[in-house]
Structure 1
Amino acid sequence: MPWSAALHAWLRPRLAAAAAVLLAALASAGCATSARQLQAQPPPELPPQVELADTPFFPDDSYFCGPAALATSLSAAGLPTQPEALVGQVFLPAREGSLQIEMLAAARRRGAVATLIPASLEALLRETAAGNPVVVLQNLGLSWAPSWHYAVAVGYDLERGSVLLRSGPMKRQELSLRTFEHTWRRGGQWAFVALPPGRLPATASEDETVRALVAFERTAPPAAALQAYRSALARWPGNPTLAMGLGNTLYAAGDKHGAEAAFRRVAEAHGLAAAYNNRAQVLLELGRRDEARAAARRGLAAAGPLRPQLLETLHAIDAPVSD
């Protein structure tokens, strides 16, 4: 079970009956929801039915729904993982649950790019239609007595008005769209997709993708980070953060010529002092001192808070060369 600092009451035991009553009440709720809208006017490109039947299943009827859901997502992404291998990374015994931030971090440590998707039911359905299982956080209890639960959305049926989940001990839980939407909304509509480097979620925003890749780069091998950055730049070629990440990763991979070219492109396109500084340092390592000096001086003109770093780079460039 997940836990968040903002969700301070942990009352999962004794809530089974209350949760069942709540689910029944939500199913008959008369308020207009996006679930109703999707059923009444589904986007024409959205298939009426989707089921990712080959998604792995790890049954769980304990507090370990976080590790089970994450293992499901990682295994579906081609990164076979058992829940037991994740317990120590995401489960907090004192809280009897898993933190959302640890779920994302553990996915990245296992080699997946974990990206939050938009908080909308349509985005969730689009992801499953694209072949991507979605890890979701639900509150199966009440606002004053929450029962937090991780599950994995693996499909839907718009005609039946249902969503399909790998959930706890149930391999194929069919839940009405409206009931699911309410339990998901009570969980903050938090959801993410874990994919191998080189694949992007169908609905992830540019900002969330940048955040996911910067976090992934911190622990990923350079080859994996390169693949991830290149796929993102193919979708958002004008993003300077992605371009800087590509340059840094090329440098980490030992490709100094490629890194220099990447930093040059960012500097020319966006005038970033950081790009001039990084390019100057790489040029110096390549023995191209005059070009390095020119790059550092151009960066200094736009340095702002990076001025001390660029002055340090210029000092290194102008230092006497030892024999």
Structure 2
Amino acid sequence: MSEFLFLEKRRRLIGAAAALVALGLSGCAAQTAALRAARPTGVPPRVELAAVPYYAQEDYQCGPAALAMVLGANGFGVTPQALAGQVFLPGRQGSLQIEMLSGARRHGALAVEIPGTLEALMRETAAGHPVVVLLNLGLSWAPTWHYAVVIGYDLDDESFLLRSGPMERQVMPFRTFELTWERAGKWAFVVVPPGQLAATADEALTTRALVAFEKAAPAGRAVPAYRAALARWPDSLTLAMGLGNSQYQAGNLRGAEAAFRDAAKRHDAAAAWNNLANVLLELKRPVEARKAAQRAVELGGPTQDAARDTLQRIRR
């Protein structure tokens, strides 16, 4: 779904979209009902991230504007105009979800998708993270796609606070928000600096975000992000390998050695032993490198051919 193109309608259509919303809010707002029955624990009754910058969302530009707002809230100063050439597709008059994520990463921020629950939105904003959401302000058969930024909520008033379109502070009832968000697939993400983590994203969502970030970010920027993730999920081989790879890409051979050695010992994984052998060879420690490569060969698996090549290079 993240690669599906959502077209952004002109701001002048917002009034018509609101009328459609009013006609179509007959669905079941199950999450709103659940919140009424039992409030989430561990979050304050009201949150508003008033310091989040605001950019009016001009014609077709709600994607760049929403992204500029969350980037600015995290210290990455960039304007919607600067982002338009990166995330806005003139031929389609809209922004891809995947382009929104990659646009944040290109500016050195970690973009993480979060679970599609109202509680997740509350926990993220309570943690200080404004959330980009995709809404369908129309109907399933007459969609009006729109990016907005959730900046808070009020449990007593049963409403979310948004930076949306021409409104710097829109108050939207839980039920209205839930139904318009659900029609758009309940898609949302947060932007955080490397070294911080989303409050609600699980290991799988965080790992996927980190792998994508490592490919787009400058060498070394992913190191603190992987360290933070490993502190939360220390048993993840993928995160351990990512830390070693990012250390290597940054030219820190000692750091890469430590990361791959820890992964090899903790998981006894052939890929970790093979990477460790290559790093040790570059550090001119062939005896240790040979032992690591031999262990990688012994373990077999899909990396066995690469491990054998490593061993041959060490012997030569």
- TM-score with structure 1 setting the length: 0.92
**One-letter amino acid of the structure 1 residue matched with residue 22 of structure 2:** A
Q: Which residue does the alignment assign to 1:219?
A: 216
User: How do residues 261-272 of structure 1 correspond to structure 2 at under 5 angstroms?
Assistant: 261-272=258-269
Q: CA deviation at 1:175?
A: 0.6
Q: Quote the Cα distance in structure 1 between the aligned partners of 2:276 and 2:154.
A: 52
Task: Name the CA distance, whole Å, in 1 between partners of 2:223 and 2:4.
Answer: 36
Q: Which residue of 2 aligns with 1:208?
A: 205
Q: For 1:95-106, what aligned pairs fall within 5 Å after superposition?
A: 95-106=92-103
How many angstroms does 1:151 deviate by?
0.3
3-state SS, counterpart of residue 86 of structure 1: helix
1:286 to 269, 283, 288: 283
Choose from 185, 190, 214 the match for 1:188.
185
Instruction: Give a deviation string over 1:157-209, Cα, whole Å, max 9, x none.
Output: 11111100000111001011110111111111000000111111110110110
Mapping for residues 15-54 of structure 1, pairs under 5 Å? 16=14, 18-25=16-23, 29=26, 31-54=28-51
- Alignment partners' CA distance in 2, 1:208 and 1:7: 21
**Match in the other structure for 1:232:** 229
Tell me the alpha carbon deviations over residues 244-299 of structure 1, each in whole angstroms, 9 at most, x when there is no partner.
Answer: 11111222222212211211111111121111111001111111111111111110
Mapped pair 1:66 → 2:53: no
Question: SS at the partner of 2:169?
Answer: strand
- Does the CA-based 8 Å contact 2:63-2:95 persist in structure 1? yes
Match of 1:300?
Answer: 297
Secondary structure at 2:179 match in 1: helix
Question: Cα offset for 1:130?
Answer: 0.8
Letter in structure 1 aligned against 2:118: L
Report if the CA contact (8 A) 1:55-1:72 is conserved. Answer: yes
Matched, 1:91 2:88: yes
The number of equivalent residue pairs is 316
Matches within 5 A, 1:101-250: 101-250=98-247
CA contact (8 A) 2:145 2:184 kept: yes
Q: Higher mean Cα deviation, 288-297 or 127-136?
A: 288-297
1:42 is aligned with what amino acid?
R
TM-score, normalising length: structure 2: 0.94
Give secondary structure in 2 for the equivalent of 1:283. helix
- Structure 2 residue matching 1:92: 3-state secondary structure: coil
Residue type of the alignment partner of 1:251: Y
The residue type equivalent to 1:270 in the other structure is: H
Contact 2:137 2:180 in 1 (8 A): yes
Please say if residues 48 and 161 of structure 2, whose CA atoms lie closer than 8 Å, have aligned partners that are also in contact.
Answer: yes
Q: State the 1:32 CA deviation.
A: 4.7
Distance apart, 1:5 and its partner CA: 6.2
Percent identity over the alignment?
59
Give the conservation status (yes or no) of the 8 Å contact 1:12–1:148: no
